[in-house]
Amino acid sequence: MNLDMSQFHQTFFEEAKELLSDMESLLLRLEEDPTDLELLNTIFRCAHSIKGGSATFGFTDIAHFTHDLETLLDLVRNGKVIVDSVLTQLLLESQDQMKALLSAARGEITAAPDASGLTSRIQQSIAGVGSGPTIVPSVSEAASDDTWGVFGMPRRYSLRVAPGPDTLRQGADPLLLIERLAREAEILSVVCDTAGMPSLAEIDPEACFVAWDIELRTDLTEEQILDFFDFIADDSEIKLKVIEPAQELSVITTEAPPAFVLPNVTLAAQTRDATTPTKTNAVHQAEAQTLRVSADKVDKLINLVGELVINQSMLNEVVQDFSMMKLPRLLEAVAEMERASRELQEQVMSVRMLPIKHAFGRFPRLVRDLANAVGKKVELRTSGEDTELDKGVIEAIADPLTHLVRNSIDHGLESAQDRINAGKPEIGVISLHAVHEGGSIVIEISDDGKGLNRERILAKAIERGWVSENEMPTDETICNFIFQPGFSTAAQVTDLSGRGVGMDIVKQAVQALGGSITLSSIIGAGTTFRIRLPLTMAILEGLSLCVGDETYIVPLTNIVESIQPKSGDVRMVAGAGEVVMVRGEVLPIMRLHNVFNTPPRFKNPTDGLLVIVETDRRKVALLVDELIGQSQVVIKSLETNYRKIPGIAGATILGDGRVSLILDVPGLIHEGLGAVAA
Amino acid sequence: MAKTALVVDDSTSMRQMVSMTLKGAGFQVIEGGNGQEGLDKLKGAPGSKVDLIITDLNMPIMDGLAFIRQVRAQSGSRFTPILMLTTESGDARKMEGKAAGATGWIVKPFHPDQILKVIDKVLPS
């Protein structure tokens, strides 16, 4: 049989990834509670499943490594190896190694780091038990061992039971005996032989004239079968014949299976080869496109599509020979269709939704390792892990979150001694909290540390020339300086946070997702970062506005306010062009009709409206004719349908069928300001 | 009529592979992710009967041995061939399986062809 094993690789990879992340959280729990046997069994099962799968699908590196680990885990769960911090560390490192091996097999990295040190530490732990030398059978040996077999081949018998005429009179019931036999052996067929039956006139109602021919399959011996009929044997005819020849009790085949030489199982080896990058990419892309969806969600979708189809036929029926009499029914059908399509949209969006625990999942381990590295005591608390958001957003937000958590441990929390001196509990707390708020998700990362050091931030800001020495910026302004590019106040650059990537990168990443980040910090009590993200990147909350005949959409996250300026507020400034004064702030005016070259209704800013937008702390006033309103729009990519245009983030289709462009505010400010200066 | 097989394994990839092999051999396949699911699927099968059961041993919720015992306790499945998938080639595990009521065993890792060979032995056509 020619089965392409590579078709199962994807499933195996996903499964192994899940098992490994389960294993990690279980190991962290084991650290807390080293005596929990159920925990140990589950950890063992994770390793065991990964080993089984990797060996079957030809990933011998993973199988070999995991084999030793499994042996160790087996000793641990049998109480032969004590769970201590050294062991959990070893197990966690092993789990990392398996992760690396898996990535190597997927072609994500060229090769996993050398594991010989790790393997010998594992083998030492095994050897420490005194279970003899560490001659661990290799996987390939196991494969060539007795690979399959059958316990006691059942034999087929034909049995004739012809009870003597006096059997019934003696109180025996042959049927009962046959029924009893049927409980122990598989009856294939029973034929009742009535040839011996006399005519009705001659029949003796108390005598037995019938016989049975039975075919059965069982691993009972002949003697055991005959024993059933001991009771009636005297004047009866019981004949037993083996139809299929008896075989050895245990059939063992020892032929070596070609388990690892299948041509299509060599993918793992190929992808590790740097000369075949195309294959690697193909694997990678296929992976990025898969999405695990619960059958429940798919069922709901199918259900909704079914409703739509019914709706559509209802509409068809109403529209044929339409008369005003049918108007109420038409309206009803349209309303129904509207409901079904809205639900369908919600459901389809939910297909891409995953609980945020996928992003939070990495933190227990991260916090543990970081806390150990900097010698602080840290407790991680998470809540709202089941809050769902778009898979793409989860993937994109994981790194910024990691950076924030690192920062909190490194800079936010004090050392244990400092905390005690400050009258705080010794163990610092980092909390991750996710919650839905309207159309967005809010993620809060808080620590109960010392809060931001305003003096040092201000000193840095003055040093960098962001403020002058005699300025008195507000507390909020000072705190927000940490989002400035090139900001880093860490007195000494530690291993963790001080590596170039700063809070500005975090802010950019959040903004790229259409989100925003704010912070609040109380001296001595801690710092909280609040990230607000749209639930999905495919739908955008926007403000529609019009310029001449065109409708544009500005993402709501960029909008500060809309004003109708008084004539005195609009001025021309040399070098900056046209500006507007808003409560003492001077903002450049960008005439959208000039940017997009459309004839407007109003050329004078005092006739139209100014929409003030902001990005990267730079504000611009957009001159438009009119605001239409706020709405949710589905983003269609311009790049895939046309080509990339500076200042345009995408397009959407309006209710009346017209296309409307979605403004890319950061791009626009970048492009537009240049144009004004020129 | 196509024969029906029940495949029980907590690993989706293994289950898929065994199922594909069986489907290739003309079986109708139903699947369970652990012993309990296996029992539920068996009860849901026409006449609560299948022609063949292949089960993993190490599974959460209900392991393979308990599953085999439960299957054997049901009148419709007393003689159904049950093959167990095991990573241990040692005799102790096999004897445990035999005592529970398994018909045969396959040692992991295995090639699809091996499954077909064992099936040939326990399910003569």
- Helix, strand, or coil here: A598? coil
- How many domains does chain A divide into? 5
Q: Which residue of A has its CA nearest to B74?
A: A183
> Average of pLDDT values for A292-308?
84
Percent of chain B predicted with pLDDT > 90: 33
Same domain? A341 vs A397: no
In this structure, the answer to whether residues A167 and A238 fall within a common structural domain is: yes
Residues from chain A that touch B113, judged by Cβ atoms under 8 A, are 1, 257
Annotated domain spans of chain B: 4-122
pLDDT tens by residue, A615-663 = 767 889 999 999 998 887 877 777 777 777 888 888 888 877 788 999 9
3-state SS, A253-292, equals ECCCCCCCCCHHHCHHHHHHCCCCHHHHHHHHHHHHHCCC
CATH of the domain at A128: 1.20.120.160
Tell whether A79 is within 8 A of chain B (Cβ): no
A624: Cβ contacts below 8 Å, ≥ 6 apart: A545, A546, A547, A552, A592, A608, A609, A610, A611
Which pLDDT score is estimated for A495?
Answer: 43
| B58 closest CB neighbour out of A15, A48, A186 | A48
When pLDDT is cut at 50, 70 and 90, the band that residue B18 belongs to is very high
> What number does CATH give the domain B4-122?
3.40.50.2300
Question: Does the structure show a pLDDT above 90 at A506?
Answer: no
Gap from B81 CA to chain A (nearest CA, Å) = 10
The DSSP string of A300-341 is HHHHHHHHHHHHHHHHHHHHTT--GGGHHHHHHHHHHHHHHH
ipTM above 0.95, yes or no: no
pLDDT in tens, A14-27: 889 889 988 998 88
* Interval A466-494 mean pLDDT: 74
pLDDT over threshold 70, residue A488: no
Same domain, A120 and A162: no
d(C-alpha A402, C-alpha B52), whole Å: 50
Query: Tell me, what's the pLDDT at A88?
Result: 86
3-state SS string for A117-147: HHHHHHHHHHHHCCCCCCCCCCHHHHHHCCC
Q: How confident is the model at residue A125 (pLDDT cuts 50, 70, 90)?
A: confident
Domain boundary, last residue among A470, A504, A534: A534
- A253 in contact with chain B, both atoms CB, cutoff 8 A: yes
A421 pLDDT above the threshold of 80: yes
pLDDT-derived band of residue A319, with 50, 70 and 90 as boundaries? confident
- Residues A507 and A634 reside in one and the same domain: no
Residue A68 has pLDDT above 80, yes or no: yes
Residue A347 above 60 pLDDT?
Answer: yes
Q: Is residue A365 part of a domain?
A: no
A419 and A441 in a single domain? The answer is: yes
Looking at residue A489, what is its pLDDT? 52
Compute the average pLDDT of residues A321-327: 85
**How many C-beta neighbours within 10 Å does residue A246 have?**
11
Do A9 and A132 belong to one domain?
A: yes
pLDDT digit string (tens) for B46-104?
888 899 999 999 888 899 999 999 998 887 888 888 999 987 767 777 788 888 888 88
| Residue A99 token pair | 């992760």
DSSP, residue by residue, A539-551: EEEEEEEEETTEE
Mean predicted confidence (pLDDT) in A92-105 = 89
Query: What would the pLDDT profile of A177-223 be if each residue is shown by its tens digit?
Result: 888 888 778 888 888 888 888 888 888 888 888 888 998 877 777 88
Judgement on whether residues A205 and A94 belong to the same structural domain of the protein: no
| CA–CA gap between residue A148 and residue A13 (Å, rounded) | 26
Q: Would A366 be classed as within a structural domain?
A: no
pLDDT at A141: 36
Task: Quote the CA–CA distance of A510 and A535 in Å, as a whole number.
Answer: 13
Regarding whether A519 and A543 lie in a shared domain, the answer is no
Q: Over the stretch A513-544, which tens digit does the pLDDT of each residue have?
A: 878 899 998 988 899 999 988 777 667 788 99
Measure in Å the smallest separation between the Cα of B80 and chain A Cα atoms. 9
Residue A271 lies in a domain: no
Last residue of a domain, one of A318, A351, A384: A351
Residues A633 and A577 in one domain: yes
When mean pLDDT is compared across A30-39, A273-282, A482-491, the lowest value belongs to A273-282
Mean pLDDT of chain B: 87
Largest separation between any pair of C-alpha atoms in chain A: 133
Instruction: State residue A152's pLDDT score.
Output: 65
Structure confidence by residue, pLDDT tens digits, A575-605: 778 899 988 888 999 998 888 888 999 988 8
Task: Inform me whether the C-beta atom of residue A150 falls under 8 Å from chain B C-beta atoms.
Answer: yes
The answer to whether residue A511 is domain-embedded is yes
Examine the domain organization and report whether A422 and A443 are in the same domain. Answer: yes
Higher pLDDT, A628 or A352: A628
Contacts of A11 in chain B (CB under 8 A): 12-13, 16
- What distance lies between CA A16 and its chain's CA centroid? 13
- Which residues in chain B are closer than 8 Å to A147, comparing Cβ atoms? 89, 106-107, 110, 114
* A102 lies in some domain: yes
A267 in a domain, yes or no?
no
Q: Are A60 and A197 in a shared domain?
A: no
Among A541, A535, A543, smallest CA distance to A562 is for A543
Query: Which structural domain, as residue segments, surrounds residue A158?
Result: 151-250
* pLDDT band with cut points at 50, 70 and 90 for residue A432: very high
Domain membership of residue A234 (yes or no) is yes
Report the mean per-residue pLDDT for chain A.
79
- For A373-402, write each residue's pLDDT tens digit: 888 889 999 999 888 888 888 888 888 898
Identify whether residues A545 and A671 lie together within a single domain: yes
